[in-house]
Structure 1
Amino acid sequence: MSLLDKLDAVAAARKALLPEGIDVFGIPIEEVYSSTEAKIDDRRILFLGTNNYLGLTFSPACIQAAHDAIDNEGTGTTGSRMANGSYAGHRALEQEFADFYCCNSCVVFTTGYQANLATISGLAGAGDVVMIDGDSHASIYDGCRLSGAEIIRFRHNDMADLEKRLRRLGERSRSTLIIVEGIYSMLGDRAPLADIVSLKNTYNSTVLLDEAHSLGVLGETGQGLVEETGLIDEVDFITGTFSKSLGGIGGYCVSNHSQLDQLRYISRPYIFTASPTPATIASTRAALKLLQAGTELRRQLWKNAHQLYSRLSELGYQLGPEVSPVIATILDSPQQALALWKGLLDHGIYVNLILPPAAPEGKSLVRCSVSAVHSGEQMDYVGEIFAELREVIQ
């Protein structure tokens, strides 16, 4: 087989699955009207697959902050944080995130993906162990591979399986990094953080919690699962992204361990990537303030999540195990999922289609991401269309 033959196999598999003329992955958004509406194929559609949990992408404060930063500092830094890319805003945002979590230090990265890639590969190395939940995000898997550490998966949210694997390590559990997520992006369920922390303490391991989908969503001030559970002092490292509840792009890691700052000098994804643009940093700083004060936004977000989850459950759809702003409809086959996805798009509703191997356990998913700025009428309409399409997947 030549180098490029495998790509031909990918093209053939996509052609066999997808109807002619349908581009499921990377469908062009022609215009964006608001946090909840856009234009696709010259039609106005409802966004229900954007992870825009607090609806801040069109916040006037965030937009103005970005404009001011462009006017004052230009469009980009053109350099890494280690070279010319550490502006005053980058350092200010790091301090603000550290204060937000009541932690000693924070490192800001150009993307959320890089936050995991850089943190994991910087913390773990040859001779160490990373113990990861089987449903972990690709950035976690890739960070583990880059680290050179031994990778051990445990069954999703299965604490008995995690403990069995920690026990087998013996003394090596002391050099083990356990990685879990606040809200898992596929099925929308939480990590059992109290049990994980208990095992971490029993086996003298270290815990990294990825709050990508739980930042701004869980907790009184939006810190995430650490705040909801009251376990922020028990989690060693917290990573997350700016690209969901904060409406921008970028990532972070916070910790009370003084060693966090040393990642700046050994983590290749941090050292060799241009730093976030001034506009991105400025809008994120504005968004973080809104997130902290966003009690009403979180209340509305959860109201919408409960409304849609309850409606789909009543209709007989198989859903993720608990209510969250990530609401995944679980289908047995890619064909069923594609039919439901296309039916929703035909009715003006944009959601995410997730097929194996990205979806867990060989299933296929049609995933909705609810936002605080979805109206009750929009949620009602989504429920009506799911009801109309129920027969499509029988």
Structure 2
Amino acid sequence: MTDMISENQTAEHADLFSKFDPLIKMRSDLLSTGVTDPFGLVMERVISPTVAMCNGRETILLGTYNYMGMTFDPDVIAAGKQALDDFGSGTTGSRVLNGTYSPHKAVEQALCDFYDMKHAMVFSTGYQANLGIISTIAGKGDYIVLDIDSHASIWDGCKMGDAEVVPFKHNDIEAMEKRLRRIPEGAGKLVVLEGVYSMLGDIAPLKEMIAVAKKYGAMVLVDEAHSMGFIGPNGRGVAEEQGVLDDVDFVIGTFSKSVGTVGGFCVSNHPKFEVMRLVCRPYVFTASLPPSVVATACTSIRKLMDAGEKRAHLWENSKTLHKGLTDAGFQLGTTEPQSAIISVIMPDLERGAAMWEALLHEGLYVNLARPPATPANMTLLRCSLCAEHSAEQVQQIIGMFTRAGEAVNILG
């Protein structure tokens, strides 16, 4: 009898996947309506930063984070090909062992020059940059004060570092100050903010928030993943645009958006920053990026230093699309364009998926974003504009949205 009970208990608790059953059901229910899987799209061929072949037809890309359109830049591609010839396909080692080649040092110098900062540290992904930096500098006994809408990589960095985590309401300066005021005197404090929040495309009031953080003796980390290359006079992000970059202790960014490749980084002026190369586990225990990747990133970053015309054109695209979708009757995540991200709020997941599919049939790809990744359990169609989108393409996109919205009864 005892053996039987033991076997039954084992059977009841054996499935470690049971925790995912609600998500499995939600996806199954969605696909049972006949909609194309919005999370399984395959691009058969990418023609340019703004066009790809999807399901056998030419499709405008409006959901790729390729903000500055660097993925097909001839100089960037040539740099990657040359590095493949010169250094081979990969390093097969960590940066602290055999994984640092001259292109790795070159891209870190390019980042220092781009941001006019003394130190730069490159990670294999942007996720790892947040995971590594946050978990290393804020540990047990320290406090992290962060926006409730922070990216998953920021939350995971907090969890890994075992610091006391104190969230506050999104972009609420007063709420942030209340949290800081309650932290014990003398405790280590880190405030983590984002320049652009990726779901709604809204920006943070960094000038005011950083002033409050410094008032309470906190260090400040700003994730500029969605603003680097585009926002600010030199493309250094929202902190530069608001005139407070010199007050930021750590800037986190990624190569997988405006830079057009893959990788993550942190730049800083802190005099002790270089010790991070010896104590940051996601840096020490991860194979370094292939030399071809960092060579493309280095070339792209240096070209972004002189990309004022591209930045201006991208702003025009953002303003035009925001106004066009608003005039058509769509509800957007922001009342005015604040970044290259424009999110269209859907009534629910089912109609959001139907709208996503209708747009795909029109020849337009956007991101379908769903809870719990979205704030306030919203379903969003997230549009990421590119500096390579022509004015004509933006007008096409507005027409595609209007026709799709009418077809699935989102409008009217």
Contact persistence 1:135–1:360 (CA under 8 A):
yes
Contact persistence 2:114–2:302 (CA under 8 A):
no
2:260 to 239, 247, 255: 247
Correspondence list, 1:108-187, <5 A: 108-171=122-185, 174-187=187-200
Residue in structure 1 matched with residue 10 of structure 2 by the alignment? none
Residue in structure 1 matched with residue 72 of structure 2 by the alignment? 58
After superposing on structure 2, the runs of 4+ consecutive aligned residues of structure 1 that deviate more than 4 Å are none
Q: Taking every aligned residue pair, what percent have the same amino acid on both sides?
A: 46
Q: Does 1:375 align with 2:375?
A: no
Q: Does 1:355 align with 2:373?
A: no
Residue in structure 2 matched with residue 228 of structure 1 by the alignment? 241
Q: CA offset at residue 137 of structure 1?
A: 0.8
Residue in structure 2 matched with residue 206 of structure 1 by the alignment? 219
Q: CA offset at residue 96 of structure 1?
A: 1.9
Tell me the secondary structure at the aligned position of residue 288 of structure 1. Answer: helix
Q: Distance in 1 between matches of 2:177 and 2:108?
A: 35
Q: Does 1:393 align with 2:410?
A: yes
Residue in structure 1 matched with residue 355 of structure 2 by the alignment? 340
Q: CA offset at residue 390 of structure 1?
A: 2.9
Residue in structure 1 matched with residue 90 of structure 2 by the alignment? 76
1:289 to 302, 326, 338: 302
Q: CA offset at residue 8 of structure 1?
A: 4.5
Contact persistence 2:35–2:353 (CA under 8 A):
no
Contact persistence 1:315–1:390 (CA under 8 A):
no
Q: Which letter maps to 2:383?
A: C
Shifted more, 367-376 versus 26-35: the winner is: 26-35
Contact persistence 1:304–1:379 (CA under 8 A):
yes
Q: Deviations over 1:71-106 (max 9, x none)?
A: 000011111111110111111211221122121111
Q: Distance in 2 between matches of 1:4 and 1:299?
A: 48
Q: Which TM-score applies when normalising by structure 1?
A: 0.97
Q: Distance in 2 between matches of 1:178 and 1:207?
A: 5
Residue in structure 2 matched with residue 191 of structure 1 by the alignment? 204
Q: Distance in 2 between matches of 1:217 and 1:387?
A: 28
Q: CA offset at residue 20 of structure 1?
A: 4.0
Residue in structure 1 matched with residue 332 of structure 2 by the alignment? 319
Q: Distance in 2 between matches of 1:320 and 1:152?
A: 26
Shifted more, 135-144 versus 327-336: the winner is: 327-336
Residue in structure 1 matched with residue 37 of structure 2 by the alignment? 23
Question: Whose radius of gyration is greater, 1 or 2?
Answer: 2
Shifted more, 16-25 versus 130-139: the winner is: 16-25
Shifted more, 358-367 versus 2-11: the winner is: 2-11
Contact persistence 2:180–2:213 (CA under 8 A):
no
Tell me the secondary structure at the aligned position of residue 140 of structure 2. Answer: coil
Q: Deviations over 1:209-265 (max 9, x none)?
A: 001000011111111112211211100100100000000000110111022211111
Q: CA offset at residue 9 of structure 1?
A: 4.3
Q: Distance in 2 between matches of 1:325 and 1:48?
A: 10
Residue in structure 2 matched with residue 365 of structure 1 by the alignment? 380
Q: Distance in 1 between matches of 2:319 and 2:246?
A: 30
Q: Deviations over 1:339-379 (max 9, x none)?
A: 21111111010000000111100111000000010011111
Shifted more, 60-69 versus 16-25: the winner is: 16-25
Contact persistence 2:110–2:302 (CA under 8 A):
no
Q: Which letter maps to 1:144?
A: C
Shifted more, 61-70 versus 336-345: the winner is: 336-345
Q: Distance in 1 between matches of 2:275 and 2:347?
A: 46
Q: Which letter maps to 2:177?
A: E
Q: Distance in 1 between matches of 2:113 and 2:404?
A: 47
2:51 to 32, 37, 50: 37
Q: Distance in 2 between matches of 1:342 and 1:260?
A: 47
Residue in structure 1 matched with residue 9 of structure 2 by the alignment? none
Structure 2 residue ranges without an equivalent (≥5): 1-12
